[in-house]
Structures are given as structure tokens and as C-alpha cells.
Amino acid sequence: MREASEAKLAQPKFGVTEHRFEATTSSGDVSALLMRPLGADCLLVLAHGAGAGMCHPFMEALAARLADLRIATFRYQFPYIQNGRRRPDYQPILLKTVRSAVSAASAISDGLPLFAGGKSMGGRMTSLAASKGALSTIHGIVFFGFPLHPAQKPGIERSEHLRRIGVPLLFLQGTRDRMAPLDLLEPVCRDLGQRATLHRVAGADHGFHVLKRSGRTDDEVQDQLAGATRSWIDGQELSPSAAPTARARR
């Protein structure tokens, strides 16, 4: 009996399975990772940023912390990362990859409510795809650092498409983020009305790093990101995802 109890305690809190799906007809297949914790009650389709793929330490740590809070994640590669290139794909390929990822995640979700989003560019591409009416199965979008403008080129043009999105939006933004200064982002969120929630991460930059003198650690910031995401999802009205239109392959 004791051995059985110890075996039960040793079981992992979540499992990770590898998958592949067709990003676009021209780009072919890309890799994905499904991390599904025991008791998961939703699934977040999570895109990486421009400079690193789905296995970057930030993405790994974020997925693990979300899993601790019963949020499953479906991380995936954009084709340029899959093929070892540094320069991001052209926007139509990025957007089609987002659409394909959401369809692939829906196919293996077992009916879990779907959310989508990502780090920096990944979140922005997700919202652009949603603004074109392509992500009808998701309940909301989470931005882990929305890149409001390119580095050293202040502006809000990148936010114009957000008005065309009908689902709730969560902006997780560092107060030292030079690609989304709060004096520019806060008015954008106000204009979006009740659909937009802005969660400020004190002292964090665009990569969610904090200075040592802040008295905080990057690990604590990751905890905050996961906790804020959980609280926001808990405030949404959830229902099972729509029937899948594509299937991810293991």
C-alpha cells in the first residue's frame, strides 16, 4: 500500500507531448509542444517572439507556470525558426501559421476552451489573424508584451487592428518596456473599452527582465504573469471549443 501511495505521489503534474502540423502549403510542417496539466480547464495557443522559438527559456518557464495553474499550452514554431532562419517569415505566412496552430490545437483539445496569444511578435500576429475573422474558436487573446511600435520608433499604428477584434484582450506589459511605453499604451487600452485589460508588471522590460535593484527576480515576474493570466481567464465566460477543422500529428 505504501509503495502504491509513493508511486501516486511521484506522478508528474503535467505531461508534454510533441506534435506537428502544416503551417502553410508552401512552408510545410512545423513542430509544436502540448503541455497539459492534470485538471486543465483551458488551453492557450502560445506563439513565440521574433528572436527565439518555442523552447526559449522564457517560453519553457511560462508554460510550466501556467500548467501549475491548470492552464494547458500549445506552443509552436513559425516556419523560419523551424528551418533555422533568423529573419521572420512574411506576414501572410505568419498569419496563416497562427490560424493553422489554433486549428491544430482545437483538434487535440478534448473540448477545452481555447485562448490564444504569445510573446511580443507572436501575440501581435495572433491579434492580426483574429482581426481578419480567422480565429472564431478562441475566447480571448493574451499579449505577453505587446510590441506597440518598433524599437526607437514611437507610434500606435500597430494597434489599429485591435478595434476589429471582438474577443477580450489581456495586455501584460512591463513598466520599462521600450516597445510599448505606458503613456502610449494606456490610451489605446482605454479606447478599446471593456474588451481590454492592462496588467502592469512593475520594473520589467520587454523581455520581462527586472533590475537587481528592484528587489524582484525574473522568476517572481514569471509567477506574476501566470497568476494574472489565470485571474483574467477566470473572469471570462467559458464554453467548449468549436469542432476542430484540422488535426495535429504526433
Spatial distance between the Cα atoms of 209 and 9, rounded to a whole number of angstroms: 34
Segment 135-182, tens digit of pLDDT? 889 999 999 999 999 988 999 999 999 999 999 999 999 999 999 999
9 in a domain, yes or no?
no
Whether residue 97 is contained in a domain is answered as yes
pTM of the complete model: 0.90
Per the structure, the count of domains in the chain is 1
pLDDT tens-digit series, residues 4-38: 333 333 345 678 999 999 999 999 999 999 999 99
CATH code at position 37: 3.40.50.1820
Q: What is the pLDDT of residue 8?
A: 38
Task: Let me know if residue 25 belongs to a domain.
Answer: yes
Cβ-count burial of 142 within 10 angstroms (0-12 exposed, 13-18 middle, 19+ buried)?
Answer: buried
Query: Does some domain include residue 196?
Result: yes
Let me know: does 175 contact 182? Beta carbons within 8 Å. Answer: yes
Looking at residues 28-54, what average pLDDT do you find?
A: 97
For residue 52, what are the domain limits?
14-234
33-59 CB burial, b ≥16 within 10 A, e <16:
bbbbbeebebbbbbbbbbeebbebebb
Helices (H), the chain: 2-10, 57-68, 79-82, 91-107, 121-131, 182-192, 218-234
- Residue 156 CA to its chain's centroid (Å): 21
Contact indicator for 214, 158 with CB cutoff of 8 Å: no
